[in-house]
Structure 1
Amino acid sequence: MKKNFRIPAIVALGAALAVLAGCAAPKTGRDDVTYYYSNKATTAVPKVEPPPPPPPQNGPVGVPKIVYFDFDKYNIRPQDRQIVEAHASYLRNRTASRVVIEGNTDQRGGREYNLALGQRRAESVQRALTQLGVPAERIEAISWGTEKPASLQLTEEGYQLNRRAEFSYR
């Protein structure tokens, strides 16, 4: 025996009316399209961007970043003393600046000897900076020995370019 199950018409009609009533509910708020076109003439608030950060300075402008040394020496030459003084003045006036002094040597001599000589050159410049009023904790002295040659020429001119201490600002 087959039972036919029928939804009474009145219940189906009530459900359909409830669905239609929900769809036909009045909108609250504004119509976005109408709002857009009615306010099109108002001026937008300009976006204010912060100014770009100043470019980082790598030491005093117009002053060389290299101090040269004589063969097998680590004392600062008189002609290079002004370079060290200019960097000391720069560092004293900029308390956030830090510098690394990189000592270098020419290709002559053994590896250990050149590393030690490069370190003595860097420390010589570091000592001069501290004597000129720069706090020692803002200066680091390292040695590259022969690892970073400025010249590959095996002449006295090439050797002279490699006997140096360089200022590298951080």
Structure 2
Amino acid sequence: MAKMTTSLLLAVALVGTAGCAKKRPPELPPAPVAEGDLGAGAGAGDTSDQYGSSALNEQFKREVMSDTVRFGLDQYDIDPEARRVLDSQAQWLAGHPATRITIEGHADERGTREYNLGLGDRRANAAKNYLAARGISATRITTISYGKERPVALGSDEAAWAQNRRAVTIVIS
């Protein structure tokens, strides 16, 4: 009986420690190619190679108020400034009905990776939903969250964090 109890305890201990083994981290998004202009809100580096259609994306950036919507700490609501930015994007997209976009959601470095991926997702989807409410077909819009993995501004202060809390619209075709 004692031998069976010992064997059972040993089996339970082995199963318990197997669950504690370090798991391989999920694949991270590719690193930014270049720093880019920190004030322009262009995202992390040159995305034209990643998405193609660089001329159309550059035209979009020139003709809209901004390609970037900023958010407050732990926020994903569309404030009046974000509305103005997204309204200009909706107007441009209405004039280019065959154009598809991707909205990238980003967060600052504070918080866990999982939390920031979720927050980036909520930010990207808030922008998508606003554009859809303005008449842009949701089938033309894809979203992706990079969380804190692609900061546009490096640093651990409020100025850098404020630049990294964003949703960036990229023209893909």
Q: How does 1:58-137 map to 2 (within 5 A)?
A: 58=57, 59=60, 61-137=63-139
Distance 2:77 2:107 in 1: 13
CA contact (8 A) 1:68 1:77 kept: no
Query: Which residue identity lines up with residue 83 of structure 1 in the other structure?
Result: V
TM-superposed CA distance for 1:80, in Å, is: 2.0
Cα pair 1:97 1:169 within 8 Å, conserved: yes
Mapped to 2, the partners of 1:56 and 1:107 lie a distance apart of 32
1:84-135 CA distance string (max 9 Å, x none): 0011111111111011000000000001000000000000000000000000
Q: Decide whether the 8 Å contact of 1:123 with 1:141 is kept in 2.
A: yes
CA RMSD of aligned residues (A): 1.3
Contact 2:103 2:124 in 1 (8 A): yes
* 8 A Cα contact 1:151 1:161, kept in partner: yes
What is aligned with 2:3? none
Tell me the distance in 2 between the aligned counterparts of 1:56 and 1:115. 29
Q: Secondary structure at the match of 1:108?
A: coil
Q: CA deviation at 1:62?
A: 4.9
Instruction: Give 4+ residue runs of structure 1 displaced > 6 Å after superposition.
Output: none
Taking structure 1 as the reference length, the TM-score comes to 0.66
> Residues 15-57 of structure 1: CA distance to partner in whole angstroms, max 9, x if unpaired?
xxxxxxxxxxxxxxxxxxxxxxxxxxxxxxxxxxxxxxxx832
Q: Distance in 1 between matches of 2:108 and 2:155?
A: 10
Worse-matched range after superposition: 118-127 or 89-98: 89-98
Identity of aligned residues (%): 38
Aligned to 2:56: 57
Residue 64 of structure 2 contacts residue 85 of structure 2 at CA under 8 Å; is this kept in 1? no
Q: CA 1:62/1:140 → structure 2, altered by over 3 Å: closer, same or farther?
A: closer
- TM-score, scaled to structure 2: 0.65
Distance (whole Å) between structure 2 residues aligned to residue 129 and residue 105 of structure 1: 21
Letter in 1 for 2:170: S
Comparing 77-86 and 158-167, the one that deviates more: 77-86
How many residues of Structure 1 are paired with residues of Structure 2 in the alignment? 116
Aligned equivalents of 2:84, 2:71: Cα separation in 1 = 14
SS in 2 for 1:141: strand
Letter in 1 for 2:56: Q
CA distance in 2, matches of 1:163, 1:169: 20
Q: Which residue of 2 aligns with 1:158?
A: 160
Q: Secondary structure at the match of 2:104?
A: strand
**Higher share of residues assigned helix:** 2
Q: Residue 64 of structure 2 contacts residue 92 of structure 2 at CA under 8 Å; is this kept in 1?
A: no
